[in-house]
A and B are shown apart, each in its own frame.
Chain A
Amino acid sequence: MPGENILIIGGGPAGLEAARGVADLGYKAILVEKRDRLGGTPDSANYAALTHGMRDASEVMAEIVAAVSGNPLVDIRLNATVTESSGAAGDFRVTLQENGGPATVEAGAIIVATGFDHFDPGRATQAYGYYEYDDVITLTDAEAMLKEKKFVKPSNGQAPDRVCFIQCVGSRDRQLGNEYCSKVCCGIASKQAIEIRQLLPQCKVFIFYIDMRMYGYWENEIYWPAQEKYKVQYIRGVISEIVKKGDRLMIRGEDTTMNRPMEVAMDIVILSVGMEPSKGTKEIARILGLAQNKYGFIDPAHGSLDTVSTSVEGVFVAGAAAGPKDLDDTMGMAGAAAMKAAALVRRKSKAPSPLSSPPVGERVG
């Protein structure tokens, strides 16, 4: 019955987990993904190993994809996106743009899992030279190299002797309009630092930071080993200028703990770029009329006690579409969104259900 279908937009970790949850609860999931394959950003951006646990990203993503791809209750639509929506909770009519042209689907609830984009360091003009120097790269560029177990200077293909990370690029910055912390980049940088030290034991690795934000087990599982076992150098003070000197990069900053200026040569500079709402997230929020915060992320309507309901009844959000999230957050939200969406369609559908006796009242979700 169409009113019991649940439309999930976005086939990344959040969308995949939500689809699995919906199917496990016995409802039909329609999973719409813009790209020609599932897996989301960890797949499209070629993530290597995932924190925490350091499992291979392709392996992890393959498992989550496998859980939905053969499932008769999950209708996967690739190369598809949403262009229009009408109706209300329990009875949405949504127009998709697919390979073959437009198509209409009916659904009782919608879960938005359209994720994030990486901050484009070009926006911080004059600071990092990302588009000017081959050897200035981002976390995702580094992930791709680490995945192939070949970490070299892009300019000449040689192994680097000195590599550094610059934290908070495009996050925690009022000038750039992204005032929030992106949550994962401290952990990812430290993880990559370990991987670089494993691959190239002679290479020195530095991390320039404002604060290292390694909450929970990321502290003892990543931060401490990086510092203690792999001798990664953590220096408090952010680099603000990079210039080329010979075939190396001179970086300039202040070592704020030691109270002295720094000007040191590096072979590769890795920018720890943060998260921004993806274009898809902003577009879907507009189409569905969802309230967004000033950064463009979808606002959960009920604060921290309900992280997945949005300003529109029957529409839920999961994962990085709702703000910077790591995988733990993402998977947790996806499960909650699946549960609340299923509860809603069950409540709204006319079909009698043995469990439907107590009235749920006004409360959304």
Chain B
Amino acid sequence: MATGTGTGASSAGLARATPGGSVERGAEPPFEEKLRLFNEVTQDLRFPDYLYGCYECGICVAVCPSARFYDFSPRRIAQAVAREDVELVYEQMNRDVWECSQCFSCLRCPRQNNPGGIVTIMREVAVKNGLHSAKEALEGYSRIIYKIMSTGTQVSPDMIRPDAFPDWGPTAKETADNLEVWRRAMPPETMHTTSSSWEVDDKTLTELYLIWHLTGVLDMIKTLDESLHMILVDVMEEKLEEAGYPLGG
């Protein structure tokens, strides 16, 4: 049964999440809503493989890179869900989960828990339900989603900008300035591209659209960024219709 231990700290915890206080928080939802989100996490088909029980041994924290830099703990993630602490899980969904690097070092857990995987599911629920934290954490991220949808690849050569990647050193500027030439100089023809990682066939891209359309990813994008969703739907529907895929639903 779900209990609400640790609830007293929840609003304080949210305040901590935005030290600058710049982002306005959505109103605190009622317990029933938090319970619904909690159940959505635990009902994910992967969940039974991601949480067994927790020893509180701290192995996951010890190997976790994020725990070294943030007030973040995979052990607390595992414990909160294991204790069915609906309030705390809600709080974590609004803050902690965005601090995980998804490196999966925590898979070393002796109980075979996967705290990083629990984070994946919690993030997914946060995005799907349009939680404020998800929008905030993913601000500026829309361009990556747009990149995938428009090219089928995630990271493109033209993202190399000296200002964006100062740690790439002095050659980043020269590469960026003469990108086209550099790319053409490379032997693999598939990589003579600047706005996508490699050249992707149109048909391939259309198939990717179809997957996103059929598996509900577009709906997730909608809760995250309406205008992006509109652009994508426009492009996609045209392509899918051209390719002769029926667009029911």
Contact = CB atoms under 8 A, between A and B. Distances in A.
Do A's and B's CB atoms come within 8 Å in the complex?
yes
Interface of A: 127, 168, 172-176, 210-211, 236-241, 252-256, 259, 261-262
A289 to B, nearest CB: 32
Interface string B55-67: 1111101110001
Contact of A175 (B61, B62, B75, B108): B108
B70 to A, nearest CB: 12
A262 B62 CA distance: 8
Interface in B26-60: 52, 55-59
B203 interface: no
11 contacts: A174-B110, A175-B108, A210-B55, A237-B57, A240-B59, A240-B62, A240-B108, A259-B73, A261-B62, A261-B68, A262-B62
The DSSP consensus for interface residues of chain A is: loop
A173 B110 contact: yes
B108 to A, nearest CB: 6
Interface in B49-105: 52, 55-59, 61-63, 67-68, 73, 75
Contacts of A175: 108-110, 112
A174 B56 contact: no
Contacts of B67: 254, 261
A320 to B, nearest CB: 22
Contact of A253 (B55, B62, B110): B62
Nearest to A176: B110
Contacts of B57: 168, 210, 237-238, 256
A127 B58 contact: no
Given A210-B55, A238-B57, A261-B67, A172 B62 contact: no
B111 interface: yes
Contact of A254 (B52, B62, B111): B62
B59 A174 contact: no
A174 B110 CA distance: 6
A61 B107 CA distance: 43
Contacts of B68: 261
Contacts of B56: 210, 236, 256
Given A210-B55, A261-B68, A254 B61 contact: yes
B133 to A, nearest CB: 23
Contacts of A241: 62-63
A174 B58 contact: no
Give the interface centre of A172, A240, A259 by most chain B CB atoms within 10 Å: A240
Nearest to B52: A174
